[in-house]
Amino acid sequence: MKKILLLVIYVIAFQLHAQTYMYGTTYEGGANGLGIIYRVDQNGQNFQKVFDFTTSTGGKPLGGLTLANGKLYGFTTEEGPVDNPGATAGFGSFFSFDPLTNNLTVIESLDDKSIIGSDINHSPLLANDGKLYIISAQSEVGVFNSIISTYDLGTQAISVLATLDRTTHGQGRSKLMQASNNHFYIATSNGGTNDFGTITRWNTSTNQLEVLFNSTGPGESPNHGFKNAQNGLIESSDGYLYGTSTQGGDITDVGVLFRIKLDGTDYSALEVFKSGIQDQGFYPYSGLTELNGLLYGNTSEENIDNVNAGTLFTYNLTTGVVDYFYTLDLEGYTPKGTMTLSTNNRLYFTTTGENGGNNGSLIEYNPINGNVTQRHSFNGTNGSKPYYDELAVVDFTSLSIDESSLLDNIVNTYPNPFQDVVNIKVEGSHLIETIKILDLKGSELYIDNSKSNESNVNTSFLSSGVYLLYIQTDLGSTTRKIIKE
């Protein structure tokens, strides 16, 4: 009987979710002005807001989301819980988000006593060892060293690996990447011999940080170094690391496209971005995406066509030619999101809307016919200003769903966070048998044994804070963390 019930639940879940979605975040907007989590289908359409960030969860995420073990992981940069010993102020949170239930869980408070630091502008990296790798831009408030840490998805343990010194290595404001040699690389935004940034490697064989390259910064040929790198490196099919920086290049200091070998040798400036040239562009903030022998990227500005909206470009790995193939206009302004390859073989990215005075947009590029199409325009209520990283592609048919996840899928609790009333509902003909609210020490604060398939629990007797909600149904039990505002 248990197997039959689980099969029925699985069929329900499959019918509801048997397709691919792309998930992203916005920095502002939503119900609380602190940003949202949203999803669109594989074609960039059917937009849905699935979560509003709050002061309790932390808000204003700059980076995107990373899919790992069926959950999405990311960071907020403001507000959030303050619960590490001795902490007095919140600077965001490290969280997981369940795409099956739309529930968000805070894993770590990025307060002023967080061991992993704060000011995390990008989503974590899922590495070959199955752990999430994280880099922060500040080790503590006002200290601009960067911390590399890991999160073990199995044990839920956070471990600090190393600290990048602001002077020697520079600040880690771009996303970590893992190369084919299993080592981790980052282009820092400053620091190093010339204070323009470095290519720093975390050597997984020696567990040591290594400065492989010190950028010379902007200058005349051939010294077109990078400066103020804000985006992750990519290892291309030719074995080189490629990246862009928002400054550097020549003396105009508006960005450079570069490559370098894995051992830190053979640095080359491939394209020096320039302002004042029609249909080119400058200040690239996004990372690069490889498709069919081309590296795709974008620039955030182009100031000749009176739109200042940015451009799309490719770098041909065979010929070395850079092609600025599209200048944005009404589709969106100021792209800073890395292009994502969807299952329909089209590329998707976001714009912030900053230079156009709007709230940003989601844009599709079709490499087959060259069409560029706005798929969604953010309006503030449904989010505003999506910033860095690629979208997270989630195939619901391949998510790992165990018995507890299936139970979670038919037991709905909302809203969360809440003010006074939390609603509980089970799908179909199943019944809620017992509801309990407990504090984080396990002390029972509320119990209801009435049997129904829906309950509205008034929590006016509770103070603001985090509690555990235990729900026993005729299929089994589930416990969830709830937040009263």
pLDDT in tens, 9-32: 444 444 344 479 999 999 999 999
Q: Locate tokens 């200042």: which residue?
A: 308
What pLDDT does residue 396 have?
79
Q: Which amino acid is at 55?
A: T
Low-confidence winner among 50-54, 99-103, 143-147 (lowest mean pLDDT): 99-103
- pLDDT tens for 149-159 read 999 998 999 99
Task: Write down the pLDDT at residue 18.
Answer: 46
**Mean pLDDT (whole number) for 138-145:** 92
Interval 359-405: pLDDT, tens: 999 999 999 999 999 999 999 999 999 999 999 999 977 765 444 55
Is there a contact between 210 and 188 (Cβ–Cβ < 8 Å)?
Answer: no
**What is the pLDDT, as a whole number, of residue 59?**
98
What confidence tens digit (pLDDT) does each residue in 423-458 have? 998 876 678 989 999 988 888 899 999 888 899 999
pLDDT in the model for residue 349: 98
Q: Pick the range with the lowest mean pLDDT from 66-75, 252-261, 445-454, 474-483.
A: 474-483
What residue spans in the chain does CATH classification 2.60.40.3080 cover?
403-484
pLDDT at residue 408, rounded to an integer: 65
Please state, in angstroms and as integers, the Cα–Cα distance from residue 326 to each residue in 147, 365, 373, following that order: 38, 10, 12
pLDDT at 409: 65
135: tokens are: 């880099």
For 43-47, 163-167, 301-305, which range has the lowest pLDDT when averaged over its residues? 301-305
**What proportion of the chain, given as a percentage, has pLDDT over 70?**
93
Task: Check if the beta carbon of residue 120 is closer than 8 Å to that of residue 133.
Answer: no
The pLDDT confidence band at residue 111, using thresholds 50, 70 and 90, is very high
* Number of C-beta neighbours around residue 15 at 10 A: 8
Residue 430 has a pLDDT of: 74
With bands split at pLDDT 50, 70 and 90, how would you rate the model's confidence at 348? very high
Residues 80 and 60: beta-carbon distance below 8 Å: no
The pLDDT assigned to 17 comes to 42
Lowest mean per-residue pLDDT among 42-46, 54-58, 370-374, 442-446: 442-446
Residues with Cβ within 8 Å of residue 391, at least 6 apart in sequence: 22, 23, 24, 64, 337, 340, 348, 350
CA pair distance 447, 441, nearest whole angstrom: 16
Radius of gyration of the chain (CA): 23
SS3 assignment, position 33: coil
Instruction: Say whether pTM exceeds 0.85.
Output: no
- The CA distance from 324 to 328, in Å, is 11
Cβ neighbors of 7 (< 8 A, separation 6 or more) are none
H/E segment holding residue 7:
helix 2-17
Tokens of 11: 């069929």
Cα separation, 461 vs 5, in Å, equals 37
Instruction: Tell me: cis bond preceding 284? Omega within 30 of 0 counts.
Output: no
| Residue spans in the chain of domains classed CATH 2.120.10.80 | 23-398
What is 87-121 written as a DSSP string?
---EEEEEEEEETTTTEEEEEEEEETT-TT-B---
Determine the CATH number of domain 403-484: 2.60.40.3080
Does the domain formed by 23-398 have CATH 3.50.50.60? no
- Here the tokens at position 437 are 């609210």
